[in-house]
Amino acid sequence: MAYPVEKLREEKVFKDPVHRYIHVRDRVIWDLIGTKEFQRLRRIKQLGTTYLTFHGAEHSRFNHSLGVYEIIRRIADDVFFGRPEWNEDDRLLSLCAALLHDLGHGPFSHSFEKVFDLDHEHFTRAIILGDTEVHKVLKTISPDFPMKVAEVIAKTSKNKLVVSLISSQIDADRMDYLQRDAYFTGVSYGHFDMERILRVMQPGEDQVVFRQSGMHAVEDYIMSRYQMYWQVYFHPVTRSAEVILTKILHRAKALLSQGYSFKSYPYHFSSMFNGKITVEDYIKLDEAIILYYFQMWQEEEDTILKDLCRRFMNRNLFKYAEFDPAKEYKKLAELSGLFAKAGIDPEYYLVVDSSSDLPYDFYRPGEEEERLPIHLLMKNGEIRELSRESEIVDAISGKRRTDHKLYYPADFVKDHSTAPAVKKEICKLLEIDESRY
């Protein structure tokens, strides 16, 4: 049975720099965009601290969520519409899941989730199923519609085809963010021929498949993804900002548990600190709130909290050195001792950070973060996994690349109050050219 979908009297359009226009004809989509939970995504940056490296990257998750929706809309309305394998009932389900897939993201998600042991996927589900404006809108479709949407986003839905549209190795989420992040950062990677990829997509039994004739466009997408990861997402300066952000949260948590008396008490975080955060509290969290505290904390007594907040607000970041954890754990211990001697707390000021990516993976069940492999539909009707057809994808598939770096405040090290012998030793170990100070 098809959903009783109400159409708007007149199509609404959003001007979008990436997809040119975003088109909305369904009342339910229009209403979802208008909810306060969705509008909150305007106050959460798509790329967290990346704007401190690429100043153009100030775009929000609101932006991206509309983009993912639009890609699915084009697939549903221009590509799949009328095909026997496509169930028109899945259209609205796909559209809503696309629009809402990032709903539970908090401010600077990555750091927050690590420090407070939170999970944005949990909150996405909680917002969709809880007593929220989003939930009310979704229920107008049918009583079980919110649950269906939540299951698609959680990848637990039995509707594998729809799941694969939203999360696989070549889904609408990735296709939007690669292009959008490239556009806003201004880098020349991130371009691929999405129009062609959409044209060769086809609904398969439990997954989208791509007609072989579009293989090269898919290869190009994989390469774009590879470049964006290493050039943008894992940029060491961005990671430096994230290291500081994480350490601020750690420090605040530690101070709170020690009973430290804040000038500006972190009311907004307290339920997180004690692990009892409600959906209502959660959706009040946005980046404005975080930045408010960071600004206020520049006036705290605690020198570590104060310093780290100043660093973040004024972009006075940590420097970095290459680091090989397998071989250099001794050096790290040594440095830790030297930092302590110099009066620089190594817990907050000497940080190893690792990034790791798998440019493309064929299916290995059970692995963390597994995403469905890409399947080609050959001219003879056979289905083949991409890396078996593409030499270039085969060459890079399954190869995990990891990068470790050691972050530290160069300005502290070079500070005049540090004992010269300690300073010299630190510089030697970190391969800093001392004469430059």
Cross-sheet strand order for the sheet of 208-211: 201-203, 208-211, 375-377, 383-385
Does residue 435 bind its own copies (CB under 8 A)?
no
Residue 133 CB, nearest approach to its own copies (Å):
9
Dig out the tokens for 11 from the structure.
């199509």
- Residues 227, 230, 236, CA angle at the centre, nearest 5°? 150
Dihedral in degrees, nearest 10, Cα atoms 274, 275, 278, 280: 60
Candidate list 188, 303, 402, 435; residue touching its own copies; CB under 8 A: 188
Nearer CB in complex with its own copies: 186/343:
186
Nearer CB in complex with its own copies: 56/343:
56
Candidate list 216, 263, 364, 428; residue touching its own copies; CB under 8 A: 216
Binding region for its own copies (CB under 8 A) out of 62-70, 109-117, 161-169, 248-256: 62-70
CA count, 13 A, side-chain hemisphere, 155: 12
Nearer CB in complex with its own copies: 66/93:
66
Q: Which residue has the tokens 């226009």?
A: 21
Integer Cα distance of 69 and 79 in angstroms = 15
Nearer CB in complex with its own copies: 36/158:
36
Residue 165 CB, nearest approach to its own copies (Å):
22
Integer Cα distance of 107 and 44 in angstroms = 5
Binding region for its own copies (CB under 8 A) out of 165-173, 272-280, 389-397, 416-424: 389-397
Integer Cα distance of 33 and 35 in angstroms = 6
Candidate list 6, 7, 8, 58; residue touching its own copies; CB under 8 A: 58
Binding region for its own copies (CB under 8 A) out of 87-95, 115-123, 394-402, 407-415: 394-402
Question: What does 273-293 look like in DSSP terms, one character per residue?
Answer: HTT---HHHHTT--HHHHHHH
Does residue 42 bind its own copies (CB under 8 A)?
yes
Question: What does 196-222 look like in DSSP terms, one character per residue?
Answer: HHHHHEEE-SSSEEEEGGGHHHHHHHH
Cβ atoms 64, 180 nearer than 8 A: yes
Integer Cα distance of 278 and 103 in angstroms = 15
Size of the site for its own copies (CB under 8 A): 67
Candidate list 171, 219, 242, 302; residue touching its own copies; CB under 8 A: 219
Nearer CB in complex with its own copies: 163/317:
317
407 DSSP β-pair partners: 320, 351
Q: Which residue has the tokens 């680091």?
A: 323
Residue 9 CB, nearest approach to its own copies (Å):
8
Residue 170 CB, nearest approach to its own copies (Å):
16
Does residue 17 bind its own copies (CB under 8 A)?
yes
Question: What does 358-407 look like in DSSP terms, one character per residue?
Answer: -S-----TT-TT--PPPEEE-TTS-EEEHHHH-HHHHHHTT--EEEEEEE
Draw the binding track, 295-314, toward its own copies (x: CB under 8 A; -: no contact). Answer: x--------------x--xx
Count the residues in the chain: 437
Site for its own copies in 18-37 (CB under 8 A): 18, 20-21, 34-36
Instruction: Give the residue among 56, 54, 79, 64 at the shortest CA–CA distance from 19.
Output: 64
Tally DSSP H helices, then E strands, for the chain.
23, 9
Does residue 51 bind its own copies (CB under 8 A)?
yes
Site for its own copies in 254-293 (CB under 8 A): 284, 286-292
Residue 315 CB, nearest approach to its own copies (Å):
5
Does residue 331 bind its own copies (CB under 8 A)?
no
Candidate list 5, 16, 154, 319; residue touching its own copies; CB under 8 A: 16
Binding site for its own copies (CB under 8 A): 13-18, 20-21, 34-36, 39, 42-43, 51, 54-56, 58-60, 62-63, 66, 183-189, 191-193, 195-196, 199, 216-217, 219-220, 223, 226-227, 230-231, 284, 286-292, 295, 310, 313-316, 359, 391-392, 395-396, 399, 401
